[in-house]
Structure 1
């Protein structure tokens, strides 16, 4: 069996991810946030009060990377960490009003970008692509 790097599934998925990430980063630059920070804000927008361990899992970050990102977001006053009432060693993470406002301001541009990215596919192709990638993800977890 021949291995052709440019045709490897891992490479194709990685390349698509990188190109989409770079496109998103250009938009986020005007708002002084990175794609990594956007992912954390997105994770918090729908459900606040995550502990850092669960937030790291939800956003696919290791705990050290998450801590660094949270430190930056906290300095920018976009999130706040509060002590858990259940465990003094645990912090719960919440968006501030400033963070929520920023998220809501940027979200329409992110939605538009996602629509543009998906516009090269028909609706059924896009649905099939998502199904296939989710199938791959379930197999890898």
Structure 2
């Protein structure tokens, strides 16, 4: 019997390397590992609730609270009651985040360009389609 490496290990290894490079290129911003979370909040411009963000990221509520609390403590995000639904809090970015997010987006764009060097657009489309198909294939297996 031969040893088979799980696909997840390959993805985790790539993810760790990617996150390490992103953290290094944005270390002056002190965002930790929540670059994409902050970018999502920024992109939705105060129209995203904590609950909706948790659903987008597939995170449980307690993990999401911890992430938002950290971003709040670092001065990037604040919560504001939704005027249309007082039970809901909308996430808004501070001026500090408005300066940081364009730098984060630029770093992500540069890293994406660097790591896909020599890979055609067609191959990238296949890669993304395969990842999506794997995700769709695995979801029903988890719920059964």
Does the pair score TM above 0.5? yes
1:43-54 to structure 2, matched below 5 A, reads: 43-48=40-45, 49-54=47-52
C-alpha displacement at 1:28, in angstroms? 2.5
Partner of 2:138: 140
CA deviations 1:68-97 (Å, max 9, x no partner) are 121121222211110122333321111122
Distance 2:40 2:83 in 1: 22
Q: What SS is found at the alignment partner of 2:83?
A: coil
Corresponding residue number in structure 1 for 2:128 = 130
After superposition, where does 1:4-43 map in structure 2 within 5 Å? Answer: 4-6=3-5, 8-35=6-33, 37-43=34-40
- Quick check: 1:56–1:62 contact (8 Å CA) kept in 2? yes
* In structure 1, C-alpha distance between the alignment counterparts of 2:43 and 2:8, rounded to whole Å: 30
**TM-score under structure 1 length normalisation:** 0.85
Number of corresponding residues: 138
Matched position secondary structure for 1:121: coil
CA distance in 2, matches of 1:39, 1:107: 9
CA-CA distance at 1:102 after TM superposition: 0.8
Contact 2:39 2:105 in 1 (8 A): no
Match of 2:59 in 1: 61
TM-score normalised to the size of structure 2? 0.83
Residue 33 of structure 1 aligns to a residue in which SS? Answer: coil
Higher relative contact order (Cα pairs below 8 Å, separated by 6+ residues): 2
> In 1, are the aligned partners of 2:26 and 2:107 still within 8 Å (CA)?
no
